[in-house]
Amino acid sequence: MTDPRAPRPVRHSTGPLDGPGETERASILIADDDPAIRTVLGQALTRLGYGVRTTATAAGLWQWVEQGEGDLVIADVVMPDENGLDLVTRIRRSRPDLRVVVMSARNTLLTAVQASERGAFDYLAKPFDLEKLTEVVRTALSNPVQTQGAAQSVVDDEPMPLIGRSAPMQEIYRVLARLMGTDLTVLVTGESGTGKELVVRALHDYGKRRAGPFVALNMAAIPRDLIESELFGHEKGAFTGAATRSAGRFAQAQHGTLFLDEIGDMPPEAQTRLLRVLQEGEYTTVGGRTPIRADVRIIAATHRDLTRLIRQGLFREDLYYRLNVVPIRVPPLRERRSDIPDLVRHFLKQAMDAGLPAKNVDAEAMEVLRKHSWPGNVRELENLVKRLVVLYSEEIIGARAVGQELAEQSRVMVGEFTAAPDTLSDAVERHVQALVADGDGIGVRGLYHRVLREIERPLIVCTLAVTNGNQLRAAELLGLNRNTLRKKIRDLSIPVIRGS
């Protein structure tokens, strides 16, 4: 009698292969206990001309692998007889030339990282698009084989650093898993409150420098004239008040990760010095002369549009390209509404762990949360959940309570009175409110000079453009003394426009 769990080979028609570098009739082994998945994948890959064999068990797949069959394996993580990730480790040890693509409905960062650590070529979250699958298959079969052994896993049942199973978050997980074994510079962008700092922390905690220090510096929190000293350190007597030698953040982050938050707020002179570190791999302290080798991975983040700052002359284009080696965009919450229930449950558990009463949110209330626009993103949702836990006595929080809190929150954000739209004061007010809110008030330090600089520089740049570079005429329009204007042009690093 035939064992229904034994591997059942599926023979398919031959056909031309159009993937670059693929050999004729490349063989693909598929292991998944879901018969629908096996059928769909088998048919799709057969139509592309591959030879396909499918099985419901890890044992069946392993039998084929030991017999030397297959050019590519596609395996599910959860199978009835063995965890697919453990199987990846065995395959890599037995046949390091055999590429493995892992599928999983456990769509978390940890799954993606574990798959990468154990030597999987790629990770696909279920449900996935067949077009995406075929792209991964072609890439796997055409890329040179990496024969190094699988890395030792450092991730087991740790708490998830990132919450969400939506398609945008899955793409972030895939990118993070691929970056884990590299030192590539990464630029993380996204609106305030989206969780950029969590992405950065995951890059360090699951990366090759996880044993080294993680050092963060918020550019918006440091006075302009101290940023270079904070970054690179200074020598005794380098400037007024420098009574002793001081190490900077680069020295503190040696052999680890340096996180430069709100990189868009870095002043031009510091941008120039950072560019040299990225180009040459070394720096000098303020007041120092001896170059110091920087063994540091740099990750930058910003909620601002750096390309717009480049056009305004506020950010160096060459520095942007040095930082933007691998871009990661963290989506706003409105683009990942399906993650809201998981996030709410996570924040409710955090509140309970902190000693607050155990609460839950009913289905109707959850639907209200899903329909909200969330201008403050995940941070806004977290704060709302905390308020609901503290202010409402009922164990199950309903739609009425959620609606009341969202209405009050919107009233506070919009204000009780509506001023004339699109005025400069309105724009400045919104900008200042965002700066104060971003980073829980950290950005308040140096806020006065920061906002003045952000207004003053484009004002002078635009006026010089209008006057075709005529500084005397520009000074008249601005109501400034010509010498004062010249000093501001120099201090703000504004390029001099030559009149035609």
Question: Using one digit for the tens of pLDDT, what is the confidence trace for 216-268?
Answer: 999 988 888 888 889 998 888 777 777 788 888 999 999 999 999 999 999 88
- Amino acid of residue 281: G
Residue scoring higher pLDDT (321 or 424): 321
d(CA 207, CA 185): 12
Tell me the per-residue pLDDT of 379-415, one tens digit each, with 9 for 90 and over.
999 999 999 999 888 899 999 999 888 888 776 655 4
pLDDT digits (tens, 9 = 90+) for 285-308: 888 889 999 999 999 999 999 999
What is the tens place of the pLDDT at every residue in 464-479?
877 777 888 888 888 8
pLDDT at 437: 53
Backbone φ and ψ for 124, nearest 5 degrees, come out as -125, 130
Bigger pLDDT: 438 vs 103: 103
> Is-contact 450 220, C-beta < 8 A?
yes
**pTM for the whole thing?**
0.65
pLDDT band at 3 (very low <50, low <70, confident <90, very high): very low
- Average pLDDT rounded to a whole number, residues 110-120: 80
Would you state the pLDDT for residue 301?
A: 97
The rounded distance, in Å, linking the Cα atoms of 134 and 321 is 31
CA of residue 413 relative to chain centroid, distance: 27
User: Residue 174 is encoded by which pair of tokens?
Assistant: 């895939």
CA 352, CA 373: separation in Å to the nearest integer?
Answer: 26
Q: Mean pLDDT, the chain, as a whole number?
A: 82
Tell whether the model's pLDDT for residue 14 goes beyond 70.
no
In the prediction, which pLDDT does 153 show?
44
* pLDDT at 94 exceeding the cut of 60: yes
**Per-residue pLDDT at 436:** 60
- Residue 425: per-residue pLDDT: 65
Lowest-confidence pick of 32-46, 156-170, 178-192, 329-343: 156-170
Between CA 207 and CA 201 the distance in angstroms is 10
The answer to whether 55 and 30 have CB atoms below 8 angstroms apart is: yes
C-beta separation of 140 from 54 below 8 A: no
- Looking at residue 383, its pLDDT comes to 92
Provide the token pair at 179: 């970056």
Alpha helices per DSSP H over 95-186 = 109-117, 130-142, 167-179
Q: Dmax over Cα atoms in the chain, in whole Å? A: 99
Q: Quick one: how far is CA 433 from the chain centroid?
A: 24
* 366: CB partners within 8 A, 6+ apart: 340, 341, 344
Report the alpha-carbon distance of residue 134 to residue 48 in Å, rounded.
9
Give the side-chain half-sphere CA count within 13 A for 424: 5
AA identity, residue 408: E
Between these two residues, 144 and 455, which has the higher pLDDT value? 455
Residue 127, preceding bond cis, omega within 30 degrees?
A: yes
Least confident of 32-46, 51-65, 79-93, 117-131: 117-131
Does residue 417 carry a pLDDT above 80? no
**Backbone conformation region of residue 167, classed left if phi is above 0, alpha if psi is from -120 to 50, else beta:** alpha
User: Residues 457, 491: contact at Cβ < 8 Å?
Assistant: no
